[in-house]
Structure 1
């Protein structure tokens, strides 16, 4: 199973190129190859999906009823500006200027692996969206995971 995780400090080069950390690149699903899709996040960040993951999300959003105004609005905003990219052999790709502006990215970025996707943040904005209170984090963990059985490893 491939999963994307970790938090990495990276820099854009003068041409606006970003290199994915080696651990992230190594965990991209083989069936996606070096093909990824970059999109705007719901928060002020960018989201990078392996092509295979994006296909699943694309199918769900595209299948919404186009005759419903709210669905159309969601589709319009969700799909705008999506960019299909191919990583070079080092995991490098150009971060389009429109995407840089959306996420307020200049030179430094934080890359965060979130399982099936990667978020790309302006470091200062990222800090604003993190939970600072450990008790609040603990309460969220209980709310979302507290009733799930603990899976024991096979020994």
Structure 2
């Protein structure tokens, strides 16, 4: 496995820990990490998580703005400043802080959703609603693109 793919359902244990899927742990370990990076998504009630690819994506996004610009400073503060480094125990579990759980409205269950270079952690009902809306938008986009290609 070379990407974070699929969706997994899991429960938080009594200590607030979640288990990272074994294949995903291998991706993190390949980066030379014993932890993962996690931050509240800026525009969704979910958490963004991953390893070096997540950080490289943030670096690239921040670097698109001129040095010392207000936009760059704000983006860097929001992203880098919101990251928590979650140490993995030998069983591949990490503890989600209260701040992270509150942002995503996570209580006792989660959905881990692969995004290729990173993954999201959702409260399962919120993810189902988001996925239904996203799927409807993709279907509409496909229909629109199909109609445009047919008229060419």
Determine if the TM-score, normalized by the shorter chain, exceeds 0.5: yes
Whether contact under 8 Å (1:36, 1:49) holds in the other structure is yes
CA distance in 1, matches of 2:30, 2:83: 22
Match in the other structure for 1:8:
8
The whole-number CA distance in structure 2 between the counterparts of 1:35 and 1:78 is 17
Q: Note the alpha carbon deviations across 1:111-155, whole angstroms, 9 max, x for none.
A: 111111111001111122113586643343575xxx9xxxxxxxx
**Residues 24 and 113 of structure 1 are in contact (CA less than 8 Å); yes or no, is this contact kept in structure 2?**
no
| 2:124 aligned with 1:120 | no
- SS in structure 2 of the partner of residue 131 of structure 1: helix
SS state of the match for residue 15, structure 2? coil
**Does structure 1 retain, via aligned residues, the 8 Å contact 2:40–2:47?**
yes
Change (3 A) 1:27 1:79: closer
Partner of 1:32, secondary structure, is coil
Would the aligned equivalents of 1:2 and 1:29 in 2 still touch at CA under 8 Å? no
Looking at secondary structure, tell me which structure has more helix per residue. 2
- Conservation of the 8 A alpha-carbon contact between 1:2 and 1:28: no
1:77 shift after superposition: 1.8
Gapped regions of structure 1 (runs ≥ 5): 148-155
Partner residue of 1:53?
53
Give TM-score scaled by structure 2 length: 0.79
Separation (CA, whole Å) in 2 of partners of 1:133 and 1:125: 12
CA RMSD of aligned residues (A): 2.5
Query: What is the DSSP-based 3-state SS (H/G/I as helix, E as strand, rest coil) of the residue aligned with 2:132?
Result: coil
| Distance in 2, Cα, partners of 1:141 & 1:27 | 32
Q: Does 1:138 pair with 2:113?
A: no
Q: Deviations over 1:22-46 (max 9, x none)?
A: 2332444612333310111131100
Equivalenced residues, count: 143
The 1:124–1:59 alpha-carbon spacing in structure 2 relative to 1, beyond 3 Å, is same
The 10-residue stretch of structure 1 (55-64 or 80-89) with the greater mean CA deviation from structure 2: 55-64
